[in-house]
């Protein structure tokens, strides 16, 4: 088994409150995920104890991901943990942190602690692709709602 921690930073032009509020609705995860296509089941808002089930469609196969929000501090961060994870993951703990910059913009920092059946560098490469696409989708979303 392989374990590691991975970080990703996203800078947003929008104020922190606006970005935080966007991330308090689990349905918005669907809106900013280009691939795989996701269907959400479970709680629609982010609160401590919220249960989330993701049905991920990779076209050739489908995976189910079950998790929960285990910690939340209003306006600052929330943490989701995997409960029943698909291969290759054995564990998952994702901290979503939100910081306001001096310019009034938002810096999001994702910290993912994981263990997997595959080597950590391979998982980090997959995460980099997924989060880079999320960053692109987020910027397009906020560009269209402003």
Alpha carbon distance 88, 97 (integer Å): 25
Q: What is the pTM of this model?
A: 0.94
| Model pLDDT, residue 96 | 98
| Model pLDDT, residue 146 | 56
Beta-carbon count within 10 A of 78 CB: 22
Domain of residue 128, CATH code: 3.30.530.20
Residues of the domain holding 67 = 2-145
| Model pLDDT, residue 144 | 77
Beta-carbon count within 10 A of 69 CB: 20
Domains in the chain: how many in total? 1
Tokens 């409960």 correspond to 83
**Of 29, 66, 63, the residue nearest 45 (C-alpha):** 29
Q: Could you say which residues of the chain have pLDDT below 50?
A: none
- Whether the Cβ atoms of residue 57 and residue 36 lie closer than 8 Å to each other: yes
């Amino acid at each position: 088994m392989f374990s590691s921690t991975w970080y990703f930073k996203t800078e947003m032009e929008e104020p922190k409150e606006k970005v935080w509020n966007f991330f308090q609705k689990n349905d918005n995860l669907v809106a900013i995920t280009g691939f795989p296509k996701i269907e959400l089941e479970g709680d629609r808002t982010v609160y401590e104890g919220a249960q989330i089930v993701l049905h991920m469609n990779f076209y050739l196969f489908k995976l189910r991901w079950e998790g929960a929000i285990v910690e939340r501090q209003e306006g600052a961060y929330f943490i989701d943990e995997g409960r029943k994870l698909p291969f290759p993951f054995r564990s998952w703990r994702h901290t979503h942190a939100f910081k306001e910059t001096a310019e009034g913009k938002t810096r999001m920092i994702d910290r993912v602690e994981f263990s997997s059946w595959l080597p950590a560098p391979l998982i980090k490469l997959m995460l980099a692709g997924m989060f880079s696409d999320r960053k692109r989708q987020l910027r397009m979303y906020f560009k269209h709602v402003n």
